[in-house]
Chains A and B, each alone.
Chain A
Amino acid sequence: MAKITINEKEFEVEDGKNLVDAAEENGIEIPHYCYHPGLSVAGQCRMCVVEQEGNSKLQIACNMQCKDGLKVSTESDRVKDAVKWNLEFHLINHPIDCPICDQAGECGLQEYFMEHGKYKSQMREQKVLKEKVVPLGDKITLDKERCILCSRCVRFTQEVSKTADLAIFNRGDRSVIGTVNNEPMKGNYQVNTVDICPVGALTSTDFRFEQRVWFLEEAESICRGCSTGCNVNIHHKAGKHIYRLKPRYNADVNAYWMCDEGRLTYKSANFDKRLNAARLGGVKLPLREAVQMLAAELKTLVAMEQQDEIAVLLFPTETNEDLETVFKTLKGDLEINAFYSIDVQALIDEDEVKDELMMRNDPYPNSRGFVKGMKAHKIETKNLQSLKKDLESGKIGHLLIIAPEDPQVTDLLAPLSQATSPDTFVSLLTPQTAAADLFAQALSIPCISHYEKKGCMINFQGREQQLSGGFRMIKESLSLDECFRLLLEEYKKPTEIDRRKGAQQ
């Protein structure tokens, strides 16, 4: 540990820690653009200047390591003036086109101007004009005029994604970001450059012009794209529509980054893909009635001692809490034994990093939690081939499918729908229309999507991570936990059969 003094206050910080980070840890913000804790130090933007005791020149905090006795000021008049002027330098050639800029509302220039600037610009000369809409492949759109040349994106492609596809061309105030030979950017990690761009220069082509960021709310969650379990923030509007996912820092899992594929997993959760009402054979019915019907169907089979004809199909995409309720209800209360799924253990056994960076082979977010839940309830699942066989042989009277909005699951369901005979009653708990459409005659109950879920999932490291969604995009939808509690409630209500049985006794 090192004792350092910032603004005449003493702090104890990790020896050798970067001063910008050490200050931030202690609630002191040192403005910076080019410095990023996940990248090498460039020292270019000069925004992080501080006054160091014993040094007549202003020093940049990003290139200072904390050691005992370090004394700096971040709020002396000299520093304030320097920061203000540095900001002016950043802005004299900036187009200041905030009204049409996607970054507005989360822009480093706007933020620091309000905090450290608030001057009237003296720049009356012609600004340097540059290209404004430059697609760098199909994921990123570049505005060269807005770029402050902090080089974060360039360093990212050199140091993190190792694609090295970005560079700064030309020199002086004619410098521009670009790709080598104007080729499209490569790889599955491009959009991270948008996250780390402190201004509106690099924008996500997916998010561009979709929504003003000040209308967005955030909820913490875990990406559903693979077993890595990247920590994400969901950016949604009033819980009705998700506009984007952004990586949330977790030093042990994904650091500051996530892959582009994972980033787009929010799409299947939005309204146009969603089952927005319960239905039976294509006819809408109230949600409560649908659950009652499912309870009744199950109960009839149980009452006739035919619960062996009930088959349950589910995937490692649910939270540990939901799985617990599902297993407890189906296995414990209803004594159902026929569970089907993909071979999750095999996925775990063969799980490794797919692209030398972060993405893993196992495409499900909670395989470990799934196996753990199965073991706890002494459940063994059979695979999809046996389900198909069992369906074809007519052994299954009721097939209960719990299907997430994941398109790869929908692909797995398609062959099963063909194998299902009209004699099998299919009930489907799913957030998406695509799955419900596969089983046209089924009883479909709308569920919430992955990013609305609350609960925990276990990633490849065995780390239990929390999803805090909590919003409800479709009014008429249930979480699995809610659905099964309701189901059990309905199931336990005495019915005509019970009464008759009671009378006989």
Chain B
Amino acid sequence: MLEQMSTRVLACMQCGKCTGSCPESGKTPFNIRMLVRKKQFAAAIAEELPWYCTSCGACTLRCPRDVKPSEVIIELRSALVEDGLMPLALQKALENTAVQKNPWGKSRGKRGVWADKLDIEIPHVSDTESKRLLFTCCIQAYDPRCMVIPSNVARILNKGGLEFGILGEEEGCCGNEIRRIGEAGLNEELQEENKAIMEEYGVKEIIALSPHCMNAFKKEYGDLGIKVTHYTEIVADMIREGTLTVQAPFEKKVIYHDPCFLGKQNGIFEAPREILRAIDGLTLMEFARSRETSLCCEGGGGRMFFEVETTYERNAEVRVNEAVEKGAEVIATACPFCVMTLEDPATEKGITVKELSEILVEVI
């Protein structure tokens, strides 16, 4: 008798919808349907395979039998992590997160540095009336390219008259990617630490800057009794209600790329588009694959921290090529990982990648 697993691999009928929707299938050795099959028979799985998954979630969304193939991947990875069998770069990312609470091993003490350089003062969340927390995210706290995003959003929210605070160096990694890498224990520790600090300061609302963090707080922290939103939802509300007005035009053709964790996994398709539509002169364009079928940029599931061995045309390149063919001038997105992956090929093709906030600060 096969042991019943927490995921529903035994319910799988091998229809192949998962592989059909997987951004890695066809061009890499990764075949999610096959892995589920092997798991059904508890057959050996080559240890490099599970690491291709980008955790985009398409397979789980499309599966007609609720097998949750993306969770099967996490199970496979967990077993490998417990045995220490993982790409070295991921091992480093986990070790860094254990010590510094971010996968890059940057100083935790410098997590709030982006706010020090800002022209407006952001209070600590405990000093706010609303107990509304702007959660920065690791990459946006440290990466010079992404550090502008929290600064921008802080200015935008401030302009819209919204009160909010930050945790500064007390903020730690949300654990979203860590769980997907398969380090359940570390994810638990990160969650506990973040929960404790939020409880201590009586946080009532979280505005997440990264869709990945938002996903974790919304779906994986249990019942926090805290309202969790992505900043684009707040900004869209502000524009709609008139608390934030778009004053200058942005005369460009902008194509919007749906981040997996914002779009297909959490159903936030409209807020970012609504913001873009509100800007004068901006022509909003769409990719052939958008919304639920948006093509993953391959920055999730730990892929931000390591490179798979296979060389192939990256999805980011596919995206950029399509944008260029369609005549877009700017690729807009609302996730730091997407910004990072898209920007590489975009720079080469002479097209700009902007996180939504980067367009917004130019027009308000």
**Is the A/B pair a real complex?**
no
Residues of A in contact with B (beta carbons under 8 Å apart): none
